[in-house]
Amino acid sequence: MDVKVFDNDTEAGKYAFELIKQGMDNGAKVLGLATGSTPVTMYQAMVNSDVDFSNMTSINLDEYVGMSPDNDQSYRYFMQSHLFDKKPFKETFVPNGLAKDPEEETKRYNKVIADHPIDIQVLGIGRNGHIGFNEPGSPFDAETRKVPLTQNTIDANARFFENKDDVPRYAYSMGIGSIMKSKKILLLAFGENKADAVQKMIEGPVTNDVPASILQKHPDVVVILDKAAASKLSKK
């Protein structure tokens, strides 16, 4: 894993975007994208640039089950407001939170991923080491599926909701097997509260208890950190 440490998340986000630009210059057509606080500075860099994304396809990692795309807590809404409304893409895929049949929806999404192999996948990491909504214990070979959120993740995401009871209990998430098929992976993490998960991901054993640790086995991962998130790494 290639680890890069920056003074702050603005610089880190700009660097992540530089890698995406390089990838696009070298023919990348499909971006795997993530939501949450972490990728916001990278999306700002994309929006502030003069780069044209209208030939690009995006595939998002996850969506809350039961959440309408118009709901401002949905990941579809997040992506529209942070990126797609400002920088149009050729096509954008996010799981459909309102799908009637979860099995059909996960099949549909797996076909989307199979039909559009991901060139560059952007990831955040949970305090518990999750990637997407692949919580501790998730199988390393899974495809997209409906998953229950752990209490740790519900607590972490409650900050975005008025009431903790409003946080959805299930999500559709791309599986770790699908994530690992991406040609290149950029994992971003900022802040002291990610330092433990980052340390375990990079320096700990590869274990389902820390889903992100599987990234040690991927041939092309760049980990993009601020100083606080890097603070528990033994090698500086």
Where along the sequence are the contacts to ligand PGA (CB under 6 A)? 36-38, 124-126, 130
Alpha carbon 176 to its chain's center: 11
Q: Which residue has the tokens 């994309």?
A: 46
Catalytic residue among 9, 60, 62, 63: 62
* Distance between CA atoms of residues 138 and 113, nearest Å: 19
Say which of 130, 134, 143, 157 is annotated catalytic: 130
Q: How far is the CB of 22 from ligand PGA (least distance, A)?
A: 23
Task: Compute the C-alpha angle 99/100/103, nearest 5°.
Answer: 80
Question: What is the nearest approach in angstroms of ligand PGA to the Cβ of residue 124?
Answer: 3
Please indicate whether residue 135 is annotated as part of the active site: yes
Distance in angstroms (rounded) separating the CA atoms of residues 67 and 74: 6
Q: How remote is the C-alpha of 223 from its chain's centroid?
A: 13
CB of 37 to ligand PGA, least distance (A): 4
| Residue with Cβ nearer ligand PGA (22 or 161) | 161
> 127 or 146, CB closer to ligand PGA?
127
For ligand PGA, the closer CB: 20 or 125? 125
Which residue's CB is nearer to ligand PGA, number 38 or number 96? Answer: 38
Q: Which is nearer to ligand PGA, 16 or 125 (CB)?
A: 125
Name the active-site residue from 128, 134, 143, 157: 128
Smallest separation (angstroms) from ligand PGA to the CB of 125 = 6
Select the residue whose beta carbon is closest to ligand PGA and give its number. 36
Residue 140, judged by CB atoms within 10 A of its CB (0-12, 13-18, 19+), counts as middle
Active site residue 130: yes
Residue 49 phi, psi (nearest 5): -85, 170
Q: In sequence order, what E strands does 24-183 have?
A: 30-33, 57-60, 62-64, 91-93, 120-123, 145-148, 170-173
Per DSSP, what are the bridge partners of residue 6?
Answer: 226
| Nearest approach, Cβ of residue 74 and ligand PGA (Å) | 15
**Residues catalogued as catalytic:** 62, 128, 130, 135
